[in-house]
Amino acid sequence: MIRTLYLGWRYLVYHRLKTSILVTSITLILFLPVGLRVIVDQSSKQLTARAVSTPLMVGSKGSPLELVLSTLYFRSEIPETMDYGEAAQVADSGLARAIPIYAKFRARGRPIVGTSIEYFAFRGLRIATGRQLARLGECVVGSRAAEAMGLEPGGHVVSSPESVFDLAGVYPLKMNVAGVLEYSDTADDDAIFVDIKTAWVIAGLGHGHQDVSRPEAAGAVLSRDDENVTANASVVQYTEITDENRDSFHFHGDLSGFPITALVVVPLDHKSSAILQGRYESEELSTQIVRPITVMDELLDTILTVQSFVVAGAVIVGLATLASAALVFMLSLRLRRREIETLFKIGGSRLAIGTVMVSEIAVVLLSSVVLAGLLTLVTREFGSAAIRALIRM
Amino acid sequence: MGTRRCMVGFSLLATLLVSSGCSGPATTEVAPPPTPAGDGALSVYVVDYPLDYFAKRIGGDRVAVSFPAPADEDPAFWSPDAETVLAYQGADLILLNGAGYAKWVEVATLPKSRLVDTSAAFGDRLIRVDSTLTHSHGPEGEHSHGETAFTVWLDLGLAVEQARAIKEVLAAARPEHAADFEDGFSSLERDLLAVDTELAGLAAEGRARPVLGSHPVYQYLARRYELDLASVHFEPDEFPDEAAWSGLEALLNEHPAAWMLWEGEPLAETASRLRDAGVESVVFDPCGNRPPEGDFLTVMRANVDNLRPVLTGE
């Protein structure tokens, strides 16, 4: 047995080019559907991991997919907004905790996410250097954003104007970096987090300015009577929140009407989740509630449908390749007729000769299987990192 | 033989490698339930001394109450540093006075789920301060800052409501100790209502006597006990300027008060000049911060004693 295998092995080594081509073709045909399945499975896990950890989400009525992507990955350029009062309604229901998200602004291409302190515990985010948010005007930065922007605690980052051409628009706000988060391998690594009130200041809904009732602000006064002071346009509004001016910052109007882009809702239990979802079924509401995992699963179903077509195509190509390989072997046998006759004449039995031929085929197939398996293992090992890099791009 | 083992091993390895690509469908996970609170003393942070006192009386050993404001600062206008705010963030509960007290809360990052507005239950009974100077800029029109009087605890009936809110939130956090909290609250309620009854009795005698307040912090006291009280803006540790004295003189023409309530002992010269104007000084300490001696109740009892000659004329 060993001698026949040896003969088959030596034949393959002698015709190494033909052998390499055969092994490579069969390896690829075996690897393609398997590798594709691994990639898709890992992609699904990557895309759904964040959705799985986010039980429910409330947002303005519209595309559920847009809501989920903008809230989970902070991707939407112009997200729809809803009233902050929705958070109080959810919290007051006693059915869930509500974490507001206001992710409308950017700083050098990185999303600025206005939220509450509860967000960090919810996402398991920890401070690597510096400290947590404490006061208006501060930010904590994701690890990748900090590295890319060269930020560290004590530094500053300025919000980008919404439009370069909007000269009368909101002034950029200079924020103090309080801390940098630990690497979490999520979209949070690329974000800049601020208190939601700081985000409202960026939106121009809150500001600090000179005390116009004081004599030194006389130049900023347009008119004055016993009960009201009207300031003119020269009144100095602060573009940076410091220890000296922080107490002067204030908001005008009812905070419950201020904008947010989404609510992350964490129900107390499954029953509470069902009750909450039922409350949002009315067509008359301007808000919607979604289960992020359901939305992502629907998206992935579409991808899997495409995968099925690709796999079907790969299978057809594979069959064609195997047929070609079989043809190669058959033609090879025909070309080796004299070699086979020589083996027979020097005493080789039909069984032995057949074993030599079969062993050649077996070695090629086995080698292809091993290589396909190795490629699959490599894909499984490093595919996640590659997918995450692609998602972040 | 060795080669045979190699072939068998090779085949097994191949099978293993191929099967590694064939896994079952990904399973979804549900979000984990929130971590339940620990069993130790509840960490409670407060923004003023009355809440500190109430929480300790109600919670006893079950709560660890912290009130970080320095003793020499008015907690209503105190501004904590970042480290102190972080300490507040770590509390199980943060008790707020409500009514816009402690402005720093509006510009601090605090966990909303752990904030407790102890005035929320009587929000419709808060006193709006209509005479506040407003300012306006841009299209929004007039607005002002600090439109609500915030010394709600000087109405001892509202102080009881604040204590009740504290009891309820403690019991919700530690239901196994609800009975202890109820006992603590009942004891505190009795003490507060005893002072309230005594004040009400005094006020019934002297309701018609006009009184001055050195600062606009006695609105709830005046409303509760139906005092005829008008306020100026005098500081105990500052001698008022001539404009302030002129304003007082004008006010006395309409409001001929014989007594002025002070948050603390006024300067001797201020008291002397007031006496010349026919106004005696008496201390009614709002007790927003911890007193140098005693506690909230002893301060309130001392306030009642100080108010006795004002309202009874004795």
Residue B64 is part of a domain; what is its CATH number? 3.40.50.1980
Secondary structure of residue A262 in the 3-state scheme? strand
Q: Any idea which of A99-108, B72-81, B85-94, B140-149 has the lowest mean pLDDT? A: B140-149
Q: Looking at the domain assignment, is residue B63 inside a domain?
A: yes
Nearest to A229 among B33, B111, B135 (CB): B135
The last residue of a domain, from among B190, B222, B243 = B190
Residues B259, B163 within the same domain: no
Q: Are A75 and A69 in contact, with CB atoms under 8 Å apart?
A: yes
Instruction: Return phi, psi of residue B47, to 5°.
Output: -110, -10
Q: Looking at the domain assignment, is residue B228 inside a domain?
A: yes
Question: For B23, which residue in chain A has the nearest alpha carbon?
Answer: A38
Alpha-carbon separation of residue B254 from A195, B257, B288 (angstroms): 49, 9, 31
| B33 to A35: CB separation less than 8 angstroms, yes or no | no
Please list every residue in chain A whose beta carbon sits closer than 8 Å to the beta carbon of residue B90.
none
Residues 1-60 of A with CB under 8 A from B: 2, 5, 30, 34-35, 37-38, 41, 44-45, 48, 52-55
Q: Looking at the domain assignment, is residue B2 inside a domain?
A: no
Contacts of A19 (CB under 8 A, 6+ apart): A12, A13, A364
pLDDT tens track for B290-312 = 999 999 999 999 999 999 988 88
Average pLDDT score over chain B: 85
**What band does A350 get if pLDDT is binned at 50, 70 and 90?**
confident
Nearest to A116 among B82, B112, B134 (CB): B112
Q: Of A241 and B177, which is predicted with more confidence?
A: B177
Please list every residue in chain B whose beta carbon sits closer than 8 Å to the beta carbon of residue A372.
17-18, 21
The confidence score (pLDDT) of residue A21 equals: 87
Residues B184, B252 within the same domain: no
The verdict on ipTM greater than 0.85 is: no
B245: number of Cβ within 10 Å: 17
**What band does A218 get if pLDDT is binned at 50, 70 and 90?**
low
The confidence score (pLDDT) of residue B24 equals: 40
Q: Are A226 and A49 in contact, with CB atoms under 8 Å apart?
A: no
- The percent of residues in chain B predicted with pLDDT above 90, rounded, is 73
The confidence score (pLDDT) of residue B256 equals: 92
Shortest CA gap A258–chain B (Å)? 15
Per the structure, the complete domain to which residue B245 belongs is given by 207-283
Average pLDDT score over chain A: 84
| B145 to A249: CB separation less than 8 angstroms, yes or no | no
The confidence score (pLDDT) of residue B172 equals: 95
Q: Looking at the domain assignment, is residue B198 inside a domain?
A: no
**What band does A217 get if pLDDT is binned at 50, 70 and 90?**
low
Domain boundaries, chain A: 2-48+299-392, 56-208+249-290
- The mean per-residue pLDDT over the stretch B273-285 comes to 95
Would you say residue B54 has pLDDT above 90?
Answer: yes
Q: Looking at the domain assignment, is residue B74 inside a domain?
A: yes
CA distance A138 to A156: 9
Residues B86, B112 within the same domain: yes
- The mean per-residue pLDDT over the stretch B181-204 comes to 95
| Number of structural domains found in chain B | 2
B9: number of Cβ within 10 Å: 10
Contacts of A230 (CB under 8 A, 6+ apart): A221, A222, A223, A224, B135, B136, B137
The confidence score (pLDDT) of residue B177 equals: 96
Identify the residue among B84, B103, B112 best suited for mutation to test binding to A, counting A beta carbons within 10 A and taking the highest.
B112
Shortest CA gap A144–chain B (Å)? 24
CA distance A143 to A192: 10
The confidence score (pLDDT) of residue B206 equals: 72
C-alpha triplet A28, A21, A374: angle, nearest 5° = 40
Nearest to B113 among A118, A235, A374 (CB): A118
Identify the residue among A376, A379, A384 best suited for mutation to test binding to B, counting B beta carbons within 10 A and taking the highest.
A376
CA distance B66 to B43: 8
Identify the residue among B17, B19, B73 best suited for mutation to test binding to A, counting A beta carbons within 10 A and taking the highest.
B17
Secondary structure of chain A: what % helix, strand, coil (to 5)?
55, 20, 25
Residues B163, B234 within the same domain: no
- The mean per-residue pLDDT over the stretch A64-79 comes to 85
pLDDT tens track for A113-139 = 999 999 999 999 999 999 999 999 999
Residues B222, B110 within the same domain: no
CA distance A349 to A333: 16
Identify the residue among A133, A139, A384 best suited for mutation to test binding to B, counting B beta carbons within 10 A and taking the highest.
A133
Would you say residue A150 has pLDDT above 80?
Answer: yes
**What band does B29 get if pLDDT is binned at 50, 70 and 90?**
very low
Residues B46, B175 within the same domain: yes
Residues B159, B264 within the same domain: no
Residues 303-362 of A with CB under 8 A from B: none
A252 shares contact with chain B (CB less than 8 Å)? yes
| A370 to B23: CB separation less than 8 angstroms, yes or no | no
Would you say residue B64 has pLDDT above 60?
Answer: yes
Please list every residue in chain A whose beta carbon sits closer than 8 Å to the beta carbon of residue B142.
228
Q: Looking at the domain assignment, is residue B137 inside a domain?
A: no
- The mean per-residue pLDDT over the stretch B261-271 comes to 94
